[in-house]
Amino acid sequence: MYTIKELQKIISEEIDIEIKRLNGLEPKNLYEPIAYTLAMGGKRLRPVMVLLAYNLFSDKVEKAIHAAIAIEVFHNFTLLHDDIMDEADVRRNSPTVHKKYNKNIAILSGDAMSIMAYNYLQNSESKNLPNMVQLFSQTALEVCEGQQFDMDFETKMNVSIHQYLNMIRLKTAVLLACSLKIGALAANAPETTADLLYVFGLDLGIAFQLQDDLLDVYADQNIFGKKTGGDILSNKKTFLLLKALELSNQQTKIELLDWIDRKDFDPDEKIAAVKQIYNKLNIKDITINSIEDFYQSAISIWNEIDLPIETKAELLQLAQMIMERDR
């Protein structure tokens, strides 16, 4: 078995080779932005999940590299196009593609990345390839659905917690779930185990996103790296805001909606005021409890996975790594 660190090293080296190859292709304005996007880095969480799941059943993780790259390229494609849609200028301290190049180049190189993801996947050697492609396609479409729901929520006031959880399931969790299952499928794992890994990834993905919502408000700024309160300033319909709207009495609700409607405000004052409402409603603990519920659900699934404890230990490590990030 490989450790997560070892798998991160393996996939990073493979992606670096791809980046070099892409930088040599024509037209430069199509392939350079793709290489640039992939070179932005990150923890390579999803491709590591592919390799880790594969590694539960086989040591020849090099056979899952193509599938792992496919998932990472697809994920980076969604970030690239999301950045255009969100008009985000910076990602991981670098200018986004539509800022560094232009919007048209960003649209088109994203399109090419989504096609390349299929190309990489198609190059996997596995008897299970049709099932892998099927799962990937379904997941990719769900990610688009999640992104559209997220955009719809921006202008919709009465979003329920149920609708919100469904949105983050689609936008974030299914790709983590797919990463694990596709690795298992590549290794010809038993179907029931592959399905358990999927649900494990799904629960973990939802916990991961809820934690993201929580950290935006309650993170230790020194550890978090970026300023907290961004979601509050942009009126993002996070779990915290929706829960607060759900639990607040008439007066508090009016106060909260007033902060959301205000065009002129002092940013720090708005963050402090909304945070005070959250504190009054105990939103921090409620969110932590909900994260814990999804995390514990993932652990129950982990217990059900029919593999020796020492084999599946690394999977638990991954779950802990995801949940302990930046805290």
The residue within the footprint of its own copies, chosen from 119, 282, 289, 300 (CB under 8 A), is 119
Compute how many other C-beta atoms are within 10 angstroms of the C-beta atom of residue 246: 12
SS3 of 95, please?
strand
Q: Which of residues 177-236 bind its own copies (CB under 8 A)?
A: none
By CB under 8 A, tell whether 279 contacts its own copies: no
By CB under 8 A, tell whether 140 contacts its own copies: yes
Least spacing, CB of residue 37 vs its own copies, in Å? 15
10 contacts: CB under 8 Å, gap ≥ 6: 2, 51, 61, 62, 65
SS3 of 90, please?
strand
d(CA 31, CA 324): 35
The residue within the footprint of its own copies, chosen from 62, 152, 191, 304 (CB under 8 A), is 152
Least spacing, CB of residue 52 vs its own copies, in Å? 25
The residue within the footprint of its own copies, chosen from 129, 286, 316, 323 (CB under 8 A), is 129
* Cβ pair 31, 161 in contact under 8 A: no
Burial 16-40 (b: 16+ CB within 10 A, else e): eebeeebeeeeeeebbbbbbbbbbe
Site string for its own copies, 5-44 (x = CB under 8 A): ---------------------xx-xx--------------
Whole-number Cα distances in Å, 302 to 182, 183, 206, 312: 17, 16, 16, 8
The residue within the footprint of its own copies, chosen from 41, 130, 190, 267 (CB under 8 A), is 130
* Residues of the shown chain interacting with its own copies in the complex, contacts defined by CB under 8 A: 26-27, 29-30, 81, 84-85, 104-105, 107-108, 110-112, 114-116, 118-119, 122, 129-130, 133-134, 137-138, 140-141, 144-145, 147-149, 151-152
